[in-house]
Amino acid sequence: MPTALFHESPPPQEVARQVLQMVDTYLSDLSMLAVPPSNPLYQVYRWTLPCEVDLYMRRIGQMPKDPVELIVAYDEINLGEVVGFLLYLPVSTHPDACGITYMAVKQSHRRRGLGTTMMREVIARYPHVELTCPVKKVPFYEQLGFQVIDSENTQVVMNTRSESAQGLMSTVSAEAIFQSPQAQQIIAKLVGRLGTKVITNAEKQLLRHANQLAHQATSYVRERLTTQ
């Protein structure tokens, strides 16, 4: 699959649109909370997560001190179709380090090594790579040379080295997006349509779901680090 790197300027509008469509389609996979479509608050995250990714893409090449890079994969036949993307943040103070934010591959193009190809392109540019992922995705990254080093919220922290880079990355505040007037308006509409009780229960369900994932990640990492 042909790929393109965007690091000096944001991707063309059509490429960005397709990336954001993939974020919407694979929201549950990309969200740290793994928000299920059955939860009414899923509609809020359908706005907040694409908004976050869009803000990152708009920043590519525009803020040298807060770099963002994007790798996009295209279909072999229809070269205008985006079938995968990998968004990551280089550490400006450590030229060999970066952190992965989001990666997705279209369902129709999975099991073809596309995720592996994009990850290897990143590692070639920045050998010291860190990411977080659900427990179930640990084996995939281990095949690429990553090792388990910690847990964070609902995720397992993995790195190509035995420790994190000491530099900082400038991340977009997901909490600020969630608290934005636009997101709050979506919540207000859900409350008006479904009622306060339903939304309150949805919040509690999502919190329990997140706590379960966090416990799973913590237990998994503790066991892995103990047996190493």
Strands (E), 9-146: 69-74, 82-90, 97-105, 128-133
78 in helix, strand or coil?
A: coil
Instruction: Place 116 in a pLDDT band, splitting at 50, 70 and 90.
Output: very high
Each residue of 44-78: pLDDT tens digit? 999 999 999 999 999 999 988 899 999 999 998 88
Report how far residue 161's alpha carbon sits from residue 123's, in angstroms, rounded to the nearest whole number: 12
Residue 104 backbone dihedrals phi, psi, to 5 degrees: -150, 150
Residue-number span of the structural domain to which 107 is assigned: 3-227
The pTM (predicted TM-score) of the whole model is: 0.94
Helix crossing, 13-25 with 42-59: angle to 10°? 150
103 in helix, strand or coil?
A: strand
**pLDDT for position 165:** 87
Distances in whole angstroms, Cα of residue 21 to Cα of each of 24, 94, 138, 178? 5, 32, 26, 19
**pLDDT for position 125:** 97
Q: CATH number for the domain including 190?
A: 3.40.630.30
Report how far residue 55's alpha carbon sits from residue 57's, in angstroms, rounded to the nearest whole number: 6
Q: Percentage of the chain with pLDDT > 90?
A: 86
Instruction: Place 169 in a pLDDT band, splitting at 50, 70 and 90.
Output: confident
Structural domain count of the chain: 1
228 pLDDT more than 80:
no
Instruction: Place 200 in a pLDDT band, splitting at 50, 70 and 90.
Output: very high
- Count CB neighbours of 11 within 10 A: 20
